[in-house]
Amino acid sequence: MPVFKTPFNGYSVRFSPFYESRLAVATAQNFGILGNGRVHVIDLSPNAPVINELIGYDTADGVYDVAWSESHDSVLVAAVADGSIKVYDTALPPHSNPLRSLKEHAREVHGLDYNPTRRDSFLSASWDDSVKLWTLDRPASLRTFREHAYCVYSVAWNPKHADVFASASGDCTVRIWDVREPGSTMIIPGHEHEILSCDWNKYDECLIASASVDKTIKIWDVRNYRVPVSVLNGHGYAVRKIKFSPHRRNLIVSCSYDMTVCLWDFMIEDAIVGRYDHHTEFAVGVDLSVLVDGLMASTGWDELVYVWQQGMDPRAA
In this structure, is residue 16 part of a structural domain? Answer: yes
In this structure, is residue 127 part of a structural domain? Answer: yes
Residue 184 clears pLDDT 70, i.e. is over it: yes
In this structure, is residue 317 part of a structural domain? Answer: no
Q: What confidence score (pLDDT) does residue 67 get? A: 98
Q: How far apart (Å, rounded) are the C-alpha atoms in residues 83 and 267?
A: 39
Residue 176 clears pLDDT 80, i.e. is over it: yes
In this structure, is residue 11 part of a structural domain? Answer: yes
Q: What confidence score (pLDDT) does residue 1 get? A: 77
In this structure, is residue 285 part of a structural domain? Answer: yes
CA atoms within 13 A on the CB side of 263: 20
CATH number at residue 92: 2.130.10.10
Residue 48 clears pLDDT 80, i.e. is over it: no
- The CA-based dihedral angle spanning residues 135, 141, 143, 149, taken in that order and rounded to the nearest 10 degrees: 120
β-strand pairing of 152-157 with 143-146: unpaired
By C-alpha distance, which of 90, 63, 67 is closest to 79?
Answer: 63
Residue 47 clears pLDDT 80, i.e. is over it: no
* Rounded mean pLDDT, 271-279: 97
Instruction: Give pLDDT tens digits for 292-311.
Output: 999 999 999 999 999 999 99
Among the listed ranges 32-46, 125-139, 180-194, 204-218, which one has the minimum average pLDDT value? 32-46
Q: Please report, rounded to a whole number, the percentage of residues in the chain having pLDDT higher than 90.
A: 95
* Rounded mean pLDDT, 220-231: 96
Average pLDDT, the chain: 96
In this structure, is residue 156 part of a structural domain? Answer: yes
Geometric angle at alpha carbon 267, from 261 and 270, rounded to 5°: 60
* Rounded mean pLDDT, 62-74: 98
pTM over 0.85: yes
* Rounded mean pLDDT, 52-79: 97
Q: How far apart (Å, rounded) are the C-alpha atoms in residues 26 and 67?
A: 10
In this structure, is residue 314 part of a structural domain? Answer: no
Q: How far apart (Å, rounded) are the C-alpha atoms in residues 229 and 316?
A: 36
**Total domains in the fold of the chain:** 1
Range of the domain at 289: 3-309
In this structure, is residue 229 part of a structural domain? Answer: yes
* Rounded mean pLDDT, 51-57: 96
Q: What confidence score (pLDDT) does residue 90 get? A: 98
Residue 317 clears pLDDT 70, i.e. is over it: no
Q: What confidence score (pLDDT) does residue 181 get? A: 97
